[in-house]
Structures are given as C-alpha cells and as structure tokens.
Amino acid sequence: MNKQFKKKWDFKMFYKGDNDPQIEKDFSIYEKATSSFEKKYKGKTDYLSDSKKLLKALNDYEKLISMSESYKPLHYFQLKEDINSNNKLVQSRVGVYTERFNKNYNKIIFFTLNLGKIEVKKQKEFLKDKILKKYHYFLERIFINSKFELSEKEEKIINLLNSPAYSMWVQGFSKVLSSQEINFRGKNIPINEASGLVSSLETKERRLLGDKLNEKFKSVSDFSEAEINAIVTKKKILDELRGFTKPYQATILSYENDEKVIENLVNVVTNNFKLAHKFYKIKAKILKENKLKYADRGAKIGNFNKSFSLDETINIISSAFSKFGNEYEKVFKEFFENGQIDVYPMKGKKGGAYCWGSYGLPTVILLNHANNFNSVMTLGHEMGHAFHTKLSQTQTPIYSDYTTSVAETASTLFENFVFEEVFDSLSDKEKIIALHDKINGSVSTIFRQIACFNFEKELHETIRKEGYVSKEDIAKLMNKHMKNYLGPVFDLKDNDGYFFVNWSHIRRFFYVYSYAYGALISDALYEEYKKDNKFKAKIEEFLKAGGSKSPENIFENIGINVRDPKFFEKGLKIIENDIKRLEKLVG
C-alpha cells in the first residue's frame, strides 16, 4: 500500500482534537447567524408578497443553511461516536450539540413555514416569476410539503422532542448492540466482525455462527422491542397530526419521489419474487443442499484465487474508475491519502458501511473491510456516493444535497464498474462465482429490500392498530416477509426472525425502497453506457443535478422514464437474464 494511504479517519480534517477551542467558536458563529436571520425576518411579511424581497430573503436563507459551522461540531462528535460507541465524553458532546443545534434550527423554522402559508394564487405567481427562477424547485417543494405542516409552535416542540423520542432510543440500542461480542473459534470477536464473516465460511461453521448471532440478537431484543415500538408509535402520532394516511407516505414525500412510481416499484418487485426463488434454487444446487438456512442467503459458492486484501481492493477499484475517467481514480486515491476512509472493524465501531458528506465539509466513508469480494463491492458502492456528493456540490448550496433515492442510484452504478473490472480478470470457474455473487447482491438489494419494505408496512400498520407488538411477534413478522422473497428452498427457524434487531435500516422508516429504486435505474444507466461510452456525459449530468429537480425529472432529462409502468419490469429482465446465464453455466 502507498505509505501515504491512511486506514483510519484523520479527524484533523475537522478539528485538532475534542477540546479544540475552534469547535465552540464555529458553533457560536452559527448561533449568531441564526439569531441575526431571526431578527431580520421574524414577524415580517413583506417578502411573502413581493418577489424582489422574497429573492433577497431566499438568498439570505441559502447562505445560512450552507454554513459549515452549523454541522461541523455535531458531525465531528457523531463520527467519533460511530467508531467508538464507548467513549463517554463523545456521547455527552453529541447530546449537547444535538440539543443546541435543534434550538438554533427552531429559530429559523418560521421561514419555510411562512412560505408554505402563502395563498395558492400567489404561489403560482411566484413559481412563474423569472426573477425567482433559481428557487422555483425549492419553492415548489415547500408548497407541496406545507400541506402536512403544523403551526410553528408545534413544529418547534416536535423538533425538540425528536432526540428523546427517537434519536436517544436508536443511539442507545446501537451502543448496546455494537458492544456485543461473539465467541467463535475459541475467541471473542466484535459482533460486526462476526456478521461480516458469515458469508465466507463453510456450511457447518456458517450456520453455527449464524445461530450464535441470532441468539445474541435475541438476548438484547427486550431493549429493541421497546425501541421499535416507541419510535414507530412516535411516527404514528406525527403522521396522524400531519395528515399522512399511509405509513410510508412521509418518506416518499421527503425523498421527493412520485408516490405512484414507488407503489408501482413495490408491486412489480413483490410480484416477481419468483426470480429470487429461482436463483436460490440454483444456489442450493451449487451448495449441494436440499434446503437452505437463513445464514446461507449470502453464502459464497467458492473461493477466488485472487487476493482481496485492502491493497488488492484499492488496485482493482483504481483501475475500474480510471476507465470511466482519470479524475475519478484521482479522487478515490485522495480519500485514502487524506484519511477520509475508516477501513477495519473493531469493538464499539458502528457496523455496515456508509458515506457521509455535507456542503463545505470533508466527505468520509466508514467501512468494516473483511478482505473478501463483498468488501471490494462495498467500497465501490460507497465511492459512488462520494463522487455524487462531490459533483452535486457544483450546484448552489440549496440544491447541493441530493435525495436518498437518487443517492442509491449513483452508488449501485459505480458497483457495476467495479464488478466488470474484477470479472474480466477471473478464470472461468471464478466467473461463475462472481456472477453468482453479482446476482446474490442484486437479489439482496432489490428483492430483499422490498420484502423489508413490506415487513415495515405490516409492522407499522399492526402497531397502529394494536398499540404494541411483542419481540416474538416482530420476529414472526420478519420471518414471514423474508420467507416470501427467499422461497420454498429455505427453512427458517424462529430465532432467524430476530434479525430485525440488527437491521438498522428499519429505524430509517421505509428507507429500504431506495435501494431497489436505485439499483434498477443504475442498471438502465449502465446498459446505456455499455452501448455508447459517450453516455458518460448523461451520467455526469445526473451526478451534477444534486437536488435541483425531482428524481423522476432528473432521469427523464437524460432519457430514463421511470414513470413508465413497465420500466421496473424491464429492469428485472436484466437480473432474469443473469440468472439464466448462471443456470446455464452450472448446468
């Protein structure tokens, strides 16, 4: 590895240390700015009827929300907590800055609420006014969201209660879970490391470790039962107050998607679970098993001769990105040089992987690298987010933050580039393994996530109807919906359902649909790129669009029509063809 490459986050990107006086200075700058904005516009109404005055107010608002000082102190401590959940000082600082951030946000909440109260006739005038052209989409979203907003006083209360009614529950349970260890092969290993090992083990050990993990999840499920019921009930109350009639409606609105498009996506994928069933039947044949267990869903069917150490992973991804554009390889290597990637799992570190970025601040990636093929694909996925973040910031600050559903399109697209780079270098036997792993990933990203969406929907509806759901019944519900997509070749045990304890995505209500949405669109983009490399310009147009349009309109502008009811069916054909190709290869 290049000696300049770092394996841990270099927090000096943010501050010199936890007691750096600049932390407090930065937040004080933001506090003064919010107070100044509040003093200037609170109680004023002239900007609500005059386009020139509204333009000035919107410019001032954009400057305020683009201030890195607003996020920097809080996110610095949140990131430190993610790599060491046992740090008491950091936990305390997260709590302090969260509370202060919410209080300052409450100072300016009046502004968007007042915009939403503009009479409909005037709204239409503003949306046609050329002087406000820059802010048309921003205003359009404000006007749409205003239908579900409450009074300023109520919104302030909700904002302040979010921490004790949601964040503290989720963070508290995350801390409990990340501190757990599993005894495996005679030694205790962090639960996140154990989770990452399962798919790479031989059948006997894989199932043994899978059972141990489920036992551990079950052992902490009392806390998770209370957590899930509390945060889902909080959402129920908010939805009723705001007037949302479906549990997933608020998420789709916040992701700026068309509700009909997403409902079509869920229905199409659910109605095609048979494709996942067919794949797992082939997988069982390859593994020489009549029945599969829950731990087998991600099982490897063989080993690569190639090494997937961190060094090898970096080389593969560098080569893949350089073919798309040298500038992408350069940015990738800079992430390691700058200490923007935290690589390896450790006790107390948050599980999984993510990319986090915000306007004016360094983008960082968290990994739990396990030296396997999945780790290669994960880093490619997260770098897709990183490129998207960087290019979206060519937009003005108010549009530099893309929606979640669009984010997953970028990440899965760059996975495709990495896969092809690996695939071309493999032997015929290894290509079967790689094709299997690609399909396995697609099935997990699309079918499994939509099965989870269906699980969430029934869970929320049940809590709304019955008031509380026990951990045993949540586990049964999880098994029901996992079985629906896994198919008849799987035998699930009661304990398998306790995986809900570890599934962090269900705490971000209905977030999971964005994986399927993103994956199917990214496949369409990739197919166009393979036909003509000049389509790169269209891909970059999408990456640079940020949040300047709705996801559906961003894709329509580059020739991808997701509003077509048959669009997602066409996308599933690509997976079906891969399954047929694998079936032929394995005989």
Q: 125-134, pLDDT tens digit by residue? A: 999 999 999 9
Q: What is the pLDDT of residues 235-258, one digit of tens each?
A: 999 999 999 999 999 999 999 999
Q: What is the pLDDT of residues 497-513, one digit of tens each?
A: 999 999 999 999 999 99
What's the mean pLDDT in 90-110? Answer: 92
Q: Is residue 2 part of a domain?
A: no
Q: Is residue 581 part of a domain?
A: no
Reported confidence tier of residue 563, pLDDT bands at 50, 70, 90 = very high
Residue 189: helix, strand or coil by DSSP?
strand
Q: Answer yes or no: do 293 and 315 share one domain.
A: no
What percentage of the chain has pLDDT greater than the value 90? 83
Query: Quick check: 1 pLDDT over 70?
Result: no
Residue 547: the pLDDT is 95
Q: Is residue 441 part of a domain?
A: no
Query: Quick check: 583 pLDDT over 80?
Result: yes
Q: Is residue 586 part of a domain?
A: no
Query: Quick check: 10 pLDDT over 80?
Result: yes
Which stretches within 508-566 are classed as H helix? Answer: 513-531, 536-544, 551-556
Beta-bridge partners for 187? 184
Residue 489: the pLDDT is 97
Q: Is residue 97 part of a domain?
A: yes
What's the mean pLDDT in 187-212? Answer: 90
What's the mean pLDDT in 317-336? Answer: 96
Q: For the domain that residue 78 is a member of, what is the CATH number?
A: 1.20.140.70
Neighbours of 161 (CB within 10 A): 13
Tokens of 378: 């994960």
Q: Answer yes or no: do 326 and 422 share one domain.
A: yes
Q: For the domain that residue 220 is a member of, what is the CATH number?
A: 1.10.1370.20
Residue 459 identity (one-letter amino acid): L
Give the C-alpha distances (Å, rounded to integers) separating 120 from 45, 109, 117, 228, 300.
16, 21, 8, 39, 57
Q: Is residue 585 part of a domain?
A: no
Q: Answer yes or no: do 124 and 140 share one domain.
A: yes
Reported confidence tier of residue 365, pLDDT bands at 50, 70, 90 = very high
Cβ neighbourhood burial of 105 (10 Å; 0-12, 13-18, 19+)? middle
DSSP state of 342: E
Q: What is the pLDDT of residues 19-74, one digit of tens each?
A: 999 999 999 999 999 999 999 999 999 999 999 999 999 999 999 999 998 889 99
Q: Which of 2, 1, 22, 3 is nearest to 11 (CA)?
A: 22
Judge whether 492 and 294 are in contact, CB under 8 Å: yes
Q: What is the pLDDT of residues 464-482, one digit of tens each?
A: 999 999 999 999 999 999 9
Q: Which residues are CB-contacts of 111 (< 8 A; sequence separation ≥ 6)?
A: 37, 41, 57, 61
Between CA 12 and CA 14 the distance in angstroms is: 5
Q: What is the pLDDT of residues 409-458, one digit of tens each?
A: 999 999 999 998 988 778 888 888 889 989 999 999 999 999 999 999 99
How many helices and strands, by DSSP H and E, does the chain display?
Answer: 25, 5
Q: Answer yes or no: do 396 and 521 share one domain.
A: yes
What's the mean pLDDT in 382-399? Answer: 96
Tokens of 510: 């209905």
**Mean pLDDT, all residues of the chain:** 94
Residue 272: the pLDDT is 97
Query: Quick check: 157 pLDDT over 80?
Result: yes
Q: Answer yes or no: do 63 and 122 share one domain.
A: yes
Neighbours of 42 (CB within 10 A): 13
Q: Which of 119, 149, 179 is the last residue of a domain?
A: 149
Between CA 520 and CA 572 the distance in angstroms is: 7
Q: Rounded to 5 degrees, what angle do the CA atoms 471, 368, 574 make?
A: 80
Q: Is residue 343 part of a domain?
A: yes
Give the C-alpha distances (Å, rounded to integers) separating 457 from 81, 170, 405, 464.
31, 19, 18, 11
Strands 187-190 and 341-342: unpaired
Sheet of 364-366: strand order equals 341-342, 364-366, 354-356
Give the C-alpha distances (Å, rounded to integers) separating 308 from 92, 168, 266, 315.
38, 38, 35, 10
Domain region containing 142: 11-149
Which stretches within 338-448 are classed as H helix? Answer: 373-392, 404-424, 428-442
Cβ neighbourhood burial of 514 (10 Å; 0-12, 13-18, 19+)? buried
Q: Which of 118, 149, 180 is the last residue of a domain?
A: 149
Judge whether 477 and 458 are in contact, CB under 8 Å: yes
Q: Answer yes or no: do 208 and 299 share one domain.
A: yes
**Between these two residues, 193 and 225, which has the higher pLDDT value?**
225
Give the C-alpha distances (Å, rounded to integers) separating 508 from 167, 203, 234, 305.
11, 33, 13, 38
Judge whether 317 and 49 are in contact, CB under 8 Å: no
Between CA 85 and CA 178 the distance in angstroms is: 7
Q: Answer yes or no: do 414 and 484 share one domain.
A: no
Which stretches within 146-300 are classed as H helix? Answer: 152-162, 168-178, 191-197, 203-219, 221-242, 249-254, 259-271, 273-286
Between CA 362 and CA 15 the distance in angstroms is: 12
Judge whether 163 and 102 are in contact, CB under 8 Å: yes
Tokens of 459: 């869970």
Q: Is residue 583 part of a domain?
A: no
Q: Answer yes or no: do 531 and 408 share one domain.
A: yes
Q: Answer yes or no: do 294 and 315 share one domain.
A: no
Q: Answer yes or no: do 16 and 38 share one domain.
A: yes
Number of domains in the chain: 3
Mean pLDDT check: name the lowest of 191-195, 262-266, 269-273, 554-558. Answer: 191-195
Between CA 299 and CA 510 the distance in angstroms is: 26
Query: Quick check: 371 pLDDT over 90?
Result: no
- E strands, 273-405, are 341-342, 354-356, 364-366
Q: Answer yes or no: do 359 and 418 share one domain.
A: yes
Judge whether 535 and 426 are in contact, CB under 8 Å: no
Q: Answer yes or no: do 108 and 227 share one domain.
A: no
Query: Quick check: 325 pLDDT over 80?
Result: yes
